[in-house]
């Protein structure tokens, strides 16, 4: 298993940039995912990192440092529709050829005008 920590809530202004951090502790790291979840809806996949560095996808970027057990999700040019919870999830090796994906508790982002 692993401990995954991310801030509970954040607020940012429309048009601005926000960074959501995630720290984790795991013994068999096999990738880190970010999901977006709007209230009352299912989580949807945003990004995946398995090697150190930055992955960019339009307005969204995700960074990983395996040595530090640290990732962040960067959202640029914030829009009102970006108000949602952002879930950090870590996959690690759980033995017997099996991997498990464990989710953090999520960061609720509110975008204000």
Residues 6 or more apart in contact with residue 96 via CB below 8 angstroms = none
β-pair type (9-13, 98-103): unpaired
Contact status: 100 vs other proteins (CB under 8 A): yes
State the number of binding residues for other proteins (CB under 8 A).
Answer: 24
Residue 31 or 76 having the CB closest to other proteins: 31
Q: Which residues contact 113 (CB under 8 A, 6 or more apart)?
A: 13, 14, 80
Torsion angle of C-alpha atoms 69, 51, 73, 81, degrees rounded to 10: -140
User: Is residue 44 at the binding interface for other proteins, with CB under 8 A as the rule?
Assistant: yes
Distance (Å, rounded) from C-alpha 87 to C-alpha 72? 11
**Which of residues 45 and 80 has its CB atom nearest to other proteins in the complex?**
45
Nearer to other proteins, 40 or 113 (CB): 40
Residues with Cβ < 8 Å from 51, sequence gap 6 or more?
64, 66
Q: Is 21 in the site for other proteins (CB under 8 A)?
A: no
Smallest gap from Cβ 35 to other proteins, in A, equals 8
Position 69 contacts other proteins (CB under 8 A): no
- Chain residues binding other proteins by CB under 8 A are 1, 30-31, 33, 40-45, 48, 50, 87, 89, 91, 98-106
């Amino acid at each position: 298993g692993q401990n995954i920590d991310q801030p509970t809530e954040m607020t940012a202004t429309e048009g601005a940039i926000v960074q959501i951090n995630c720290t984790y502790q795991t013994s068999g790291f096999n990738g880190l995912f970010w999901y977006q979840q709007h209230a009352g809806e299912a989580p949807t996949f945003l990004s995946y990192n398995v090697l150190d560095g930055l992955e960019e996808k339009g307005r969204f970027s995700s960074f990983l440092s395996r040595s530090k057990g640290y990732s962040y999700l960067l959202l640029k040019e914030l829009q009102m529709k970006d108000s949602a919870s952002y879930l950090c999830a870590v996959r690690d090796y759980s033995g017997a050829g099996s991997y498990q994906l464990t989710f953090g508790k999520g960061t609720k982002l509110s975008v204000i005008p």
